[in-house]
Chains A and B, each alone.
Chain A
């Protein structure tokens, strides 16, 4: 039962609960008109303390397609945050108006902390470089759709694995499935944080390797998860400039990849995937975007208890 729950960490839900969300997502995709009034009279609060278009639009579109309404801010400067209101008070206040809240915050752990004060279900829409569990639902659904299963997969993560919150969340989520192998490709400076290695990969005894060259391993992969080197996460611009073009996926690199490889990317893309790859049937990232809206529809409905 997901009614009234929060989604802060990708492992907040059991794999069975995830299955129920994915099954409902598929129903919505197949028959969207049936669910167009599921959230009539309900309000989603969107608190975006950090700039975002696609995630915010995805949440808003999801609620609107369910018949609900949306309130919120996309710039903290236009809210009481500018007056110095604490996160706890903002959540208590908006939680008095809205039935459910999606929050993106620049500080890591903000949703974990805020959930203690939020009187309605709180969804983590990304916290700094830490976690992004609704992107993970999207990623899992897209993998399931592409491969038919979430087990027995070799998954390559490539790019900024240090600050890539979608990477951290997907590793956490996939660590619970059977026979998963991770290949982590990044510059040494952008390797996954220590807590992911210690707490997730280490404790579960998972099979993982780290490397710096995509070309060496691309032929082994069932899933290739590309990420952008995120300018906004660097304190030093020189480091960003040095590392930003470390990996560019093009058709030449894909020559040695499997025919049924699925290429994912949380978007936005800068130049880490060449445009020529977009037409390749292995490119799933635009399908991934669409899935994101449907999976958020399913999530909102489940947390509100209307389904």
Chain B
């Protein structure tokens, strides 16, 4: 059994779908952090069998919409004095900006400079988003 020291103050991003932890780690630029960070891959999960976990020994601002878009089953625990003081359950955000890019080569986002890639949630149950500009659907 691998033991990772608990943190005294910071965040624990828990219940990450296995394989997604590294992507989130890089997206949050935690590889550049000057504080303690742990990425745990394929931890045992009672609910889902396996999961990834990120522990951050610092209170940093994180984009909850981005995390919810990547995996709405994630929970974010806020830690103070080694105790969870808040637990945030994520959901799919109504809109996401500049997290993914539209793959439609006919979309204006493929041509115009400095354009925001924006996607709008159109079906929460199926997790369907559409590009704000060309209506291409993503799940």
A interface with B by C-beta (< 8 Å): 86-88, 105-110, 112-113, 127-130, 193-195, 198-199
Say which residue of A87, A129, A194, A198 sits within 8 Å of B108 (CB atoms): A87
- CB pair A199–B106 under 8 Å, yes or no, is no
Is B45 an interface position by the 8 A CB rule? Answer: no
Interface of chain A: mostly helix, strand, loop or mixed: mixed
Number of CB contacts from chain A to chain B under 8 A: 62
B interface with A by C-beta (< 8 Å): 104, 106-115, 122-123, 128, 130-137
**How far, in angstroms, from A83 to B106 measured CA to CA in the complex?**
21
- CB pair A86–B113 under 8 Å, yes or no, is yes
Say which residue of B110, B112, B134, B136 sits within 8 Å of A86 (CB atoms): B112
26 A-B pairs within 8 Å (CB atoms) are namely A86-B113, A105-B108, A107-B107, A107-B111, A107-B112, A108-B108, A108-B133, A108-B135, A109-B108, A109-B132, A109-B134, A109-B135, A110-B108, A110-B112, A112-B133, A113-B115, A128-B106, A128-B134, A130-B106, A130-B134, A193-B135, A194-B137, A195-B137, A198-B123, A199-B122, A199-B135
With A108-B107, A108-B134, A128-B106 as contacts: A198 and B112 at CB distance below 8 Å:
no
- Nearest CB in chain A: distance from B134 CB, A: 4
- CB pair A195–B111 under 8 Å, yes or no, is no
> Chain A contacts of B130 at CB under 8 A?
195, 199
**How far, in angstroms, from A112 to B131 measured CA to CA in the complex?**
11
> Chain B contacts of A86 at CB under 8 A?
112-114
- Nearest CB in chain B: distance from A74 CB, A: 19
**How far, in angstroms, from A127 to B108 measured CA to CA in the complex?**
9
- Nearest CB in chain B: distance from A46 CB, A: 19
